[in-house]
Amino acid sequence: MSQNPEVNFIFFCQNMSSEDLADIKEKFAGTWKVDRNEHFEDFLAGVGVNFFIRKMAGLARPTSDIVVDLDDETITITLNSKFMKKCSSFKLDTEFEDEFQGQKTKAIATYENGKLTIKNTPEDTSVKPTTATREITGDGELLQTMCVDDVVCKRYWTKVT
């Protein structure tokens, strides 16, 4: 260890990020398929999705691919369904631009206590901010909890590969 506390702190933070990414890769990497939802249509209504799209989305059983690149320190989450595909790539604790329902957002992803959380803040202040947290349950499912205002939606995903 260096005698310089600033160097030690930077090394500690970089090492934490590497450990976090390895943990995320071990727990989350792979292809997941939606098994069931709780309050999903309520969440979609809360973010302004129209009735027809909410009904279609509620019936869909999309897959999600989560890829963690340890060299590039990047996480990529791709959502695939019959009527849409959405891909987000980001680094932990670094603000990135994203899109949600056609609206540009500023987002930040954090990892704490085994939970990967992404907070989206739309550039348009009339659009509501959202938070999505992913964690692995005791049953090995991926639980995605999404919040907008006082609506809490839970999506349970099972691992395909």
Residue ranges of domains in the chain, CATH in brackets: 5-159 (2.40.128.20)
Do the Cβ atoms of 46 and 152 come closer than 8 Å? no
Nearest Cα neighbor of 154 from 52, 57, 35, 25 is 35
CA atoms within 13 A on the CB side of 54: 13
The model's pTM: 0.87
Q: What is the pLDDT of residues 46-104, one digit of tens each?
A: 999 999 999 999 889 999 999 999 999 999 999 999 878 999 999 999 999 998 778 89
In this structure, of 21-25, 30-34, 49-53, 64-68, the range with the lowest mean pLDDT score is 49-53
> 56 is written with which tokens?
């279609």
